[in-house]
Amino acid sequence: MIRIGVHMMEIRVLGCHGSLLPGYHTTGFMLNRTILVDAGTVTSVLTLEEQLNLETVLITHAHLDHVKELLFLADNICMSKNEPLRVMAPQGILDLLHANLFNNVIWPDFSAIPAVETPALQFRALNAGIRYPVSNLSVTVVPVNHTVETVAYLLETDKSSIIIAGDTGPTEEVWRIARQTKNLKALFLETSFPNEMQSTADLAGHLTPASLERELEKLGSCNPDIFLYHLKPQYYDKVTREIAALASFRNLRILRNGDVLRF
């Protein structure tokens, strides 16, 4: 087993698709075995021991395919961790999670269970543009453009940086941040629909390979590796072919469940 140093980021892809079919898991990335970015896939892949080792969950937005297994994660770790699992996002996203999921109707409010003083989950609000320490990383929130409040996360060590963007259509701020970030090694970006569904993608706040190409032009001379995810399973083959046609444009790679990346 490779030992993770303080300067390394190891990312395990728990799920990377835009919907559910057998073999296709919704979004969840695990960093350095203690941090999640989104929780669409967690408990259906990680062992209980791995779940208990988690310290922080960064949520890009409140859509179900990015948060659904946070519900079961809270249930699994309740009563078994000495410290609460930190759920971090802008306040508006946390409010949606509380109002619509952890509301004691759809699911128990694990921010007050087993007791208010010792909850399983602790919600912590993040503000855009501020660098926060999280484990051995620094984390900065960057807004993107989706149908609900959605963000990207800039994750940095003193040696490398990556950006994991939540669902987005055409946007601007994340590209400005990418251009000015030192040692930017990788950018994780969605591409959901084939080009023939551009109007649907625009309405839903998603990208196609064609709009992805236009967005990547905003990087200018910045040249990180581009890792693509959130392909809709029912259009997977078509989107994959259209992305392949862009291969000479940037260093593009489509993520797969189980991938492990190190930066």
In the predicted structure, residue 21 carries a pLDDT above the cut 90: yes
Task: Copy the structure tokens of residue 142.
Answer: 């960057």
Domain boundaries, the chain: 10-255
In the predicted structure, residue 247 carries a pLDDT above the cut 70: no
- Mean pLDDT of the 40-49 span: 98
Which pLDDT value is given to residue 182?
Answer: 87
Distance (Å, whole) CA 36 – CA 53: 11
For residue 33, the one-letter residue type is: R
Phi and psi for 230 in degrees, rounded to 5? 70, 20
pLDDT in tens, 61-109: 999 999 999 999 999 999 999 899 999 999 999 999 999 999 999 999 9
Any idea which residue has 């994780």 for tokens?
A: 188
- What confidence category does residue 53 fall into, taking pLDDT thresholds of 50, 70 and 90? very high
Which pLDDT value is given to residue 82?
Answer: 86
In the predicted structure, residue 248 carries a pLDDT above the cut 70: no
Name the DSSP letter for residue 84: P
- The helix, strand and coil proportions of the chain, stated in percent and rounded to the nearest 5, come to 25, 30, 45
- What confidence category does residue 4 fall into, taking pLDDT thresholds of 50, 70 and 90? very low
Average pLDDT of the chain, as a whole number: 95
Domain boundaries 10-255, corresponding CATH code: 3.60.15.10
pLDDT in tens, 102-147: 999 999 999 999 999 999 999 999 999 999 999 989 999 999 999 9
Phi and psi for 196 in degrees, rounded to 5? -65, -10
CA 70 to chain centre: 13
In the predicted structure, residue 250 carries a pLDDT above the cut 80: no
Q: How many CB atoms lie within 10 A of CB 245?
A: 12
For residue 35, the one-letter residue type is: I
User: What are the Cα distances from residue 210, in Å, to 43, 243, 259?
Assistant: 34, 9, 25
Return the percentage of the chain with pLDDT > 90, whole number. 92
In the predicted structure, residue 155 carries a pLDDT above the cut 50: yes
* pTM as predicted: 0.95
Among 115-119, 137-141, 232-236, 254-258, which stretch is predicted with the lowest mean pLDDT? 115-119
E strands, the chain, in order: 10-15, 28-31, 35-37, 56-58, 85-89, 114-115, 118-119, 121-125, 131-134, 137-143, 151-156, 161-165, 184-190, 225-229, 252-254, 260-262
Phi and psi for 105 in degrees, rounded to 5? -120, -65
Q: Which of 181, 177, 208 is nearest to 263 (CA)?
A: 181
Which pLDDT value is given to residue 241?
Answer: 96
DSSP-assigned letters across all residues of 133-179: EETTEEEEEEE--SSS--EEEEEE-SS-EEEEE-S-SS-SHHHHHHH
